[in-house]
């Protein structure tokens, strides 16, 4: 890396002592590039073995990469922590302005440990960290208010990121998220709960600086090449136009879209929640993460009249994506846009992962329908498929639970079903609630084997749709493909670009781009680094007790029609056995 690149600076913050220090860690960045690679190593260094995820010593790590602030679409920050949701690796990526702000503030990574005795938020700018009293911001029902206060109190407009948690994070729901720039999230695996456990309400970080490149002319040329590809590519146009929500229609028609807790994989009444229909009737504006010209973030405006004042409307901007339409729409039987947007809005307010919440709501509905739980368990909230008012109440009640059943739900569907039954239709994999892809066995093997149990770890759903739907592959071949893809994705999240740009940033281009920041690695070496990072993640997982043979698979996936017709117990078991031999 370049001799003076501030990427090598790691900011260590101690919330107990209210102190901070900077360490130069060129060693880490030169070996693992940044982002996921560096954050995984910092997690192995900083997180004591077997520790309670909510213990003060349990670290929060953020890392950005060499391309952050230098090339377009390098817009992601990697957060790493021990997940309170799964008990193993907690990794979550967010865009917004988070990555640019961390890099421009002059850091490559941030490590936060300890626990404050009162609620605080951190203000990080100009080489300093200030610990601000956030007592008055604690306990607000809508997390966006706290963000607004931080925005008004702190400087750095246009150059800052504002992270914050909501009520669910304060109450340490294990799938609470951290929101940045109102509409982007460190969504999965419970980073918000770790913030809450440390009395950390939020972070404001800003800065502005230059990043030196090795060759100015080559930098300009390569920048233009990437920028032009990004702004002209049809794939990127797809993300900008209708957005990820465009996939609702196609997944529904191929019978891959989970409906009513995956009792079905398509629904006839899909029209009003397709990406096209929501765009036509509700879309107001699109926004982009900092340094990403694609602008895939879609904001709808929800207009609701006040009952007591007919000419006055409550107008709420609501951000939607494919995953939210699946989890808070079809998965719970909601097929109209307005109720869907209302439910998304409340999920945003309390600050939880939308996919986990949707899967939990759908499992609760089925449990109630089967009379496995009582009205008392649900704090008096009677729930049926598609009943948005009941779901809105349940979301609030799970974020701040007051029955034993709802307290169990606040720890995820895997935990709740281990206490109350219904495991065969509790749709989680590796204790992480499923994403909206009932595409075939590769998708499920992808969830199970991915280091984060996220669909984005290895894109198994893509193997289903592109290959398994019309060709035969053995489970072993599928697992090989998944592991290979996951190794490559470690490089993307280490440098750190958005996965939507994976079609642009192949390893050849990555090699050229990082060279301009002083990193000399060819494609083969990058591939090897990716494999090593992937192995490091598994090292942490195994250390914390993860075992492939302990993975549980809900029966439901074998019962519901899918596009490949190949989701069988034998396929999944053969794939898992094969992976187990490879990894052990």
Partner 1 sequence: MKLAVKDAMRCVGCQSCMFACSRRSGNAGLANTCIGVKSAGGISKGYNVIVCRSCENPPCAAVCPTGALTPKEGGGVRLKSSKCIGCGLCKDACVIGAVFWNDKDNKPAICIQCGICANYCPYDVLELQKDKKGVSHDAE
Binding site for partner 1 (CB under 8 A): 69-72, 100, 103-104, 148, 151, 157-159, 181-183, 208-213, 216, 219-220, 223, 227, 231, 285-295, 299, 317
Question: What are the C-alpha distances in Å from 461 to residues 228, 403, 443, 471?
Answer: 29, 37, 4, 15
For partner 1, give the closer residue by CB, 211 or 373.
211
**Are 267 and 252 spatial neighbours (Cβ–Cβ below 8 Å)?**
yes
**117, two tokens:** 């005795």
Closer to partner 1 by Cβ: residue 69 or 443: 69
Centre a 10 Å sphere on the Cβ of residue 542 and count the other Cβ atoms it contains: 14
3-state secondary structure of 168: helix
Strands (E) across 59-108 are located at 60-63, 77-82, 89-94
Q: Is the peptide bond before 490 cis (omega within 30 degrees of 0)?
A: no
Q: Which is nearer to partner 1, 319 or 482 (CB)?
A: 319
Q: Based on CB atoms, which residue is closest to partner 1, 46 or 345?
A: 345
Which residues have CB under 8 Å from 417's CB, separation 6+? 363, 423, 426
For partner 1, give the closer residue by CB, 179 or 432.
Answer: 179
Please write down the HEC assignment for all residues of 307-342: CCEEEEEEEEEEEECHHHHHHCCHHHCCCCHHHHHH
Scored b (16 or more CB within 10 A) or e, 2-40 reads beebbbbbbbbbbbeeeebeeeebeebbeebbbbbbbbb
Q: How far apart are CA 538 and CA 451, in angstroms?
A: 7
Nearer to partner 1, 153 or 584 (CB): 153
Q: Considering beta carbons, is residue 249 or 298 the nearer one to partner 1?
A: 298
Q: Are 423 and 452 in contact (CB under 8 A)?
A: no
DSSP string, 470-509: TS---HHHHHHHHHHHHHHHHHHHHHT--GGGTTT--HHH
Output the smallest distance, CB 209 to partner 1, in A. 5
- 19-24 vs 120-125, strand pairing mode: unpaired
The 3-class SS string of 146-161 reads HHHHHHHHCCCCCCEE
- The length of the chain in residues reads 584
Give me the least distance between CB of 179 and partner 1, in Å please.
11
Query: Is the Cβ of residue 162 or residue 359 nearer to partner 1 in the bound state?
Result: 162
Phi, psi angles (nearest 5°) of residue 536:
-60, -35
Q: How far apart are the C-alpha atoms of 23 and 57, rounded to whole Å?
A: 19
Instruction: Quote the CA–CA distance of 66 and 519 in Å, as a whole number.
Output: 9
């Amino acid at each position: 890396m370049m001799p003076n690149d501030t990427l090598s600076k790691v900011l260590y913050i101690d919330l107990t002592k209210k102190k901070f220090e900077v360490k130069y860690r060129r060693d880490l960045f030169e070996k693992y590039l940044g982002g996921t690679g560096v954050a995984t190593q910092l997690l192995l260094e900083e997180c004591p073995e077997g520790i309670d995820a909510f213990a003060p010593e349990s670290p929060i790590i953020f890392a950005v990469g060499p391309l952050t602030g230098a090339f377009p679409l390098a817009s992601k920050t990697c957060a790493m922590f021990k997940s309170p949701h799964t008990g193993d690796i907690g990794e979550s990526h967010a865009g917004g302005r988070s990555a640019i702000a961390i890099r421009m503030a002059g850091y490559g990574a941030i490590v936060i440990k300890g626990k404050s005795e009162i609620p605080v938020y951190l203000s990080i700018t100009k080489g300093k960290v200030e610990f601000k009293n956030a007592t008055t911001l604690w306990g607000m029902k809508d997390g966006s208010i706290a963000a607004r206060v931080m925005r008004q109190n702190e400087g750095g407009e246009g150059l800052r990121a504002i992270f914050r948690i909501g009520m669910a994070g304060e109450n340490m729901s294990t799938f609470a998220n951290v929101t940045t720039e109102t509409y982007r999230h460190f969504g999965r695996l419970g980073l918000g709960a770790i913030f809450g456990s440390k009395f950390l309400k939020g972070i404001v970080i800003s800065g502005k600086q230059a990043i030196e490149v090795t060759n100015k002319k080559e930098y300009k040329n390569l920048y233009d090449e990437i920028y032009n590809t990004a702004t002209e590519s049809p794939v990127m146009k797809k993300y900008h136009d209708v957005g990820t929500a465009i996939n609702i229609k196609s997944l529904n028609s191929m019978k891959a879209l989970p409906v009513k807790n995956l009792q079905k994989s398509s629904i006839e009444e899909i029209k009003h929640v397709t990406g096209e229909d929501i765009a036509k009737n509700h879309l107001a504006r699109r926004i982009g993460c900092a340094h990403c010209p694609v602008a895939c973030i879609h904001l709808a405006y929800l207009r609701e009249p006040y009952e007591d004042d007919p000419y006055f409307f409550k107008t709420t901007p609501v951000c939607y994506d494919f995953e939210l339409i699946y989890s808070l729409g079809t998965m719970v039987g909601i097929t109209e846009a307005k109720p869907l947007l209302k439910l998304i809005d409340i999920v945003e307010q309390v600050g939880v992962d939308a996919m986990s919440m949707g899967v939990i709501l759908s499992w609760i509905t089925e449990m109630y329908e089967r009379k496995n739980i009582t009205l008392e368990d649900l704090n008096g909230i009677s729930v049926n498929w598609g009943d948005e008012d009941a779901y809105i109440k349940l979301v609030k009640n799970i974020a701040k639970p007051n029955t034993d059943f709802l307290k169990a739900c606040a720890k995820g569907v895997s935990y709740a079903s281990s206490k109350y039954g219904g495991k065969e239709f509790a749709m989680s994999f590796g204790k992480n609630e499923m994403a909206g892809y009932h595409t075939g066995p590769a998708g499920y093997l992808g969830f199970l084997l991915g280091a984060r149990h996220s669909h984005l770890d290895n894109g198994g759903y893509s193997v289903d749709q592109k290959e398994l739907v019309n060709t035969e592959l053995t489970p072993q071949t599928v697992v090989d493909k998944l592991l290979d893809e996951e190794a490559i994705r470690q490089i993307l999240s280490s440098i750190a670009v958005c996965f939507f740009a994976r079609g642009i940033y192949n390893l050849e281009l990555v090699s050229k781009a990082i060279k301009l920041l002083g990193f000399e690695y060819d494609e083969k070496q990058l591939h090897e680094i990716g494999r090593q990072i992937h192995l490091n993640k598994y090292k942490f997982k195994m250390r914390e007790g993860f075992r492939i043979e302990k993975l549980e698979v809900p029966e439901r996936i074998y019962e519901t029609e899918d596009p490949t017709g190949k989701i069988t117990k034998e396929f999944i078991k053969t794939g898992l056995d094969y992976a187990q031999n490879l990894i052990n």
